[in-house]
Protein backbone atom coordinates (compact mmCIF):
# COMPACT_ATOMS: atom_id res chain seq x y z
CA UNK A 1 0.00 0.00 0.00
CA UNK A 2 1.41 3.39 -1.00
CA UNK A 3 -0.12 6.78 -0.44
CA UNK A 4 1.20 10.29 -0.89
CA UNK A 5 -0.05 13.69 0.15
CA UNK A 6 1.07 17.29 0.19
CA UNK A 7 0.74 19.15 3.47
CA UNK A 8 0.99 22.87 4.20
CA UNK A 9 3.27 23.35 7.19
CA UNK A 10 2.14 25.45 10.15
CA UNK A 11 5.40 25.78 12.01
CA UNK A 12 6.24 29.23 13.44
CA UNK A 13 8.86 30.91 11.30
CA UNK A 14 8.55 28.44 8.42
CA UNK A 15 6.32 28.35 5.38
CA UNK A 16 5.98 25.88 2.60
CA UNK A 17 4.67 22.53 1.57
CA UNK A 18 6.12 19.14 2.33
CA UNK A 19 5.34 15.82 0.75
CA UNK A 20 4.77 12.69 2.79
CA UNK A 21 4.67 9.13 1.55
CA UNK A 22 3.63 6.04 3.43
CA UNK A 23 4.82 2.68 2.23
CA UNK A 24 3.46 -0.41 3.97
CA UNK A 25 5.41 -3.63 3.71
CA UNK A 26 8.51 -1.77 2.50
CA UNK A 27 10.77 -3.61 4.95
CA UNK A 28 10.62 -7.37 5.55
CA UNK A 29 9.02 -8.36 8.86
CA UNK A 30 12.00 -10.48 9.94
CA UNK A 31 14.35 -7.51 9.55
CA UNK A 32 11.96 -5.28 11.48
CA UNK A 33 11.91 -7.88 14.29
CA UNK A 34 15.73 -8.01 14.31
CA UNK A 35 15.98 -4.21 14.42
CA UNK A 36 13.41 -4.01 17.21
CA UNK A 37 15.24 -6.62 19.27
CA UNK A 38 18.54 -4.74 18.86
CA UNK A 39 17.20 -1.30 19.79
CA UNK A 40 15.21 -2.67 22.75
CA UNK A 41 18.42 -4.08 24.22
CA UNK A 42 20.48 -0.94 23.57
CA UNK A 43 21.93 0.95 26.53
CA UNK A 44 22.82 3.96 24.35
CA UNK A 45 19.63 5.99 24.85
CA UNK A 46 20.19 9.63 25.74
CA UNK A 47 18.02 11.18 28.43
CA UNK A 48 18.80 14.83 27.69
CA UNK A 49 16.02 17.25 26.80
CA UNK A 50 14.79 17.31 23.18
CA UNK A 51 15.18 20.55 21.21
CA UNK A 52 11.67 20.25 19.73
CA UNK A 53 9.55 19.95 22.88
CA UNK A 54 11.96 19.95 25.85
CA UNK A 55 10.83 16.45 26.89
CA UNK A 56 13.38 13.75 27.76
CA UNK A 57 14.51 12.47 24.38
CA UNK A 58 15.07 8.70 24.87
CA UNK A 59 17.01 8.63 21.60
CA UNK A 60 20.40 7.66 20.24
CA UNK A 61 22.32 8.08 17.01
CA UNK A 62 23.76 4.81 15.68
CA UNK A 63 25.10 6.77 12.66
CA UNK A 64 26.40 10.35 12.51
CA UNK A 65 27.75 12.01 9.36
CA UNK A 66 27.66 8.69 7.51
CA UNK A 67 29.77 6.88 10.12
CA UNK A 68 28.37 3.97 12.11
CA UNK A 69 28.74 4.49 15.88
CA UNK A 70 26.73 1.32 16.58
CA UNK A 71 28.53 -1.09 14.27
CA UNK A 72 26.43 -4.08 15.34
CA UNK A 73 23.30 -2.30 14.06
CA UNK A 74 25.15 -1.41 10.88
CA UNK A 75 25.98 -5.07 10.24
CA UNK A 76 22.38 -6.00 9.48
CA UNK A 77 20.84 -2.61 8.66
CA UNK A 78 23.34 -1.36 6.08
CA UNK A 79 22.07 -3.72 3.38
CA UNK A 80 18.55 -2.28 3.75
CA UNK A 81 19.95 1.25 3.58
CA UNK A 82 22.06 0.68 0.50
CA UNK A 83 19.71 -1.56 -1.50
CA UNK A 84 16.21 -0.46 -0.48
CA UNK A 85 15.94 2.90 1.30
CA UNK A 86 18.57 4.93 -0.57
CA UNK A 87 17.48 3.77 -4.05
CA UNK A 88 13.88 4.64 -3.16
CA UNK A 89 14.75 8.12 -1.84
CA UNK A 90 17.03 8.83 -4.81
CA UNK A 91 14.25 7.91 -7.24
CA UNK A 92 11.29 9.41 -5.37
CA UNK A 93 13.04 12.75 -4.82
CA UNK A 94 15.08 12.77 -8.04
CA UNK A 95 18.35 13.07 -6.13
CA UNK A 96 21.04 10.71 -7.40
CA UNK A 97 23.58 12.05 -4.91
CA UNK A 98 21.46 11.56 -1.77
CA UNK A 99 23.33 9.81 1.02
CA UNK A 100 22.53 8.77 4.56
CA UNK A 101 23.94 11.29 7.01
CA UNK A 102 22.46 10.48 10.40
CA UNK A 103 20.26 7.76 11.84
CA UNK A 104 18.26 8.55 14.94
CA UNK A 105 16.49 5.90 17.01
CA UNK A 106 13.80 7.19 19.36
CA UNK A 107 11.80 5.00 21.71
CA UNK A 108 8.25 5.57 22.92
CA UNK A 109 7.23 3.60 26.00
CA UNK A 110 4.06 3.89 28.09
CA UNK A 111 5.91 5.23 31.14
CA UNK A 112 8.19 7.53 29.10
CA UNK A 113 7.75 9.64 26.00
CA UNK A 114 4.58 8.94 23.97
CA UNK A 115 4.53 11.78 21.39
CA UNK A 116 6.77 14.09 19.40
CA UNK A 117 5.46 17.48 18.28
CA UNK A 118 5.24 18.44 14.62
CA UNK A 119 8.56 19.79 13.45
CA UNK A 120 10.66 20.25 10.34
CA UNK A 121 14.02 18.49 9.98
CA UNK A 122 15.83 21.54 8.62
CA UNK A 123 19.15 19.70 8.38
CA UNK A 124 17.80 16.98 6.06
CA UNK A 125 16.86 16.91 2.38
CA UNK A 126 14.66 13.88 3.08
CA UNK A 127 13.68 12.09 6.28
CA UNK A 128 12.76 8.40 6.42
CA UNK A 129 10.75 7.17 9.41
CA UNK A 130 10.73 3.45 10.01
CA UNK A 131 8.18 2.33 12.60
CA UNK A 132 9.21 -0.88 14.32
CA UNK A 133 5.93 -1.50 16.15
CA UNK A 134 2.30 -0.96 15.16
CA UNK A 135 0.97 2.52 16.02
Cα separation, 45 vs 42, whole angstroms = 7
Beta strand ranges found along the chain (DSSP E): 2-8, 17-23, 59-64, 67-68, 103-106
Q: Which of 46, 42, 108, 28 is nearest to 73 (CA)?
A: 42
Calculate the average pLDDT of the chain: 78
Residue 125 and residue 98 in contact, taking contact as beta carbons nearer than 8 Å: yes
Judged against a pLDDT cut of 70, whether residue 123 lies above it is answered with yes
Among 10-19, 44-53, 74-83, the minimum mean pLDDT is found in 10-19
pTM: 0.72
Q: What's the confidence (pLDDT) of residue 4?
A: 59
Amino acid sequence: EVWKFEKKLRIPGLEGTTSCRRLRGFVQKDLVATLLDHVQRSKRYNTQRDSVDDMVSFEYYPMINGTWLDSSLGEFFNDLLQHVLLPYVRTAYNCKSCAVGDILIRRYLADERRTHQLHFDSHAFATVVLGLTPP
